[in-house]
């Protein structure tokens, strides 16, 4: 399952950060997930429940922040929000668009003790 490997890498990032700091456990973590990252939030939540067991994140409150996907049309430079990447420009109908937001998948912040 795709989301499980993502969840495990989030745990790894958290553990890496903790090794470099004074804190011993994480009480809160927020994760940014782009709308075009291909990650299903519900599946990620479910996978996180498994991945955090016996780790520094086991008691952490999780917040998943969804970043809307955004494309920029290469023909007319219009910027627009989308749910999937294969969406034509609403102004000129072009399918040649650059992704300018929505690919994010990262640990935004952590609060620890
Ligand atoms: Zn356009």
pLDDT category at 1 given cuts 50, 70, 90 is low
CA of 60 to the centre of ligand 1 (A): 43
Query: Is the distance from CB of 26 to CB of 56 less than 8 angstroms?
Result: yes
Nearest to 37 by CA among 59, 12, 6, 72: 6
Confidence at residue 22, expressed as pLDDT on a 0 to 100 scale: 81
The DSSP annotation for 57-95 comes to TTTPEEEEEEEPEEEEETTT--EEEESSS----TTT---
Kindly tell me if the per-residue pLDDT of 4 is higher than 90.
yes
Q: Helix (H, G, I), strand (E, B), or coil: what is residue 36?
A: coil
CA of 18 to the centre of ligand 1 (A): 45
Summarised one tens digit per residue, pLDDT across range 30-86 is 999 999 998 998 999 999 999 999 999 999 999 999 999 999 999 999 999 999 999
CA of 74 to the centre of ligand 1 (A): 7
CATH for the stretch 2-112: 3.30.2320.80
């Amino acid at each position: 399952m795709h989301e499980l490997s993502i969840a495990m890498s989030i745990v790894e990032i958290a553990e890496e950060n903790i090794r470099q700091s004074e804190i011993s456990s994480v009480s809160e973590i927020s994760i940014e997930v782009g709308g075009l990252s291909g990650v299903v939030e519900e599946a990620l939540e479910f996978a996180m429940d498994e991945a955090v067991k016996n780790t520094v994140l086991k008691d952490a409150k999780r917040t998943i922040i969804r970043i809307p996907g955004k494309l920029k049309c290469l023909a007319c430079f219009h910027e627009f929000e989308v749910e999937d990447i294969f969406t034509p420009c609403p102004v000129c109908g072009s399918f040649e668009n650059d992704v300018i937001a929505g690919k994010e998948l990262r640990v935004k912040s952590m609060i620890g003790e």
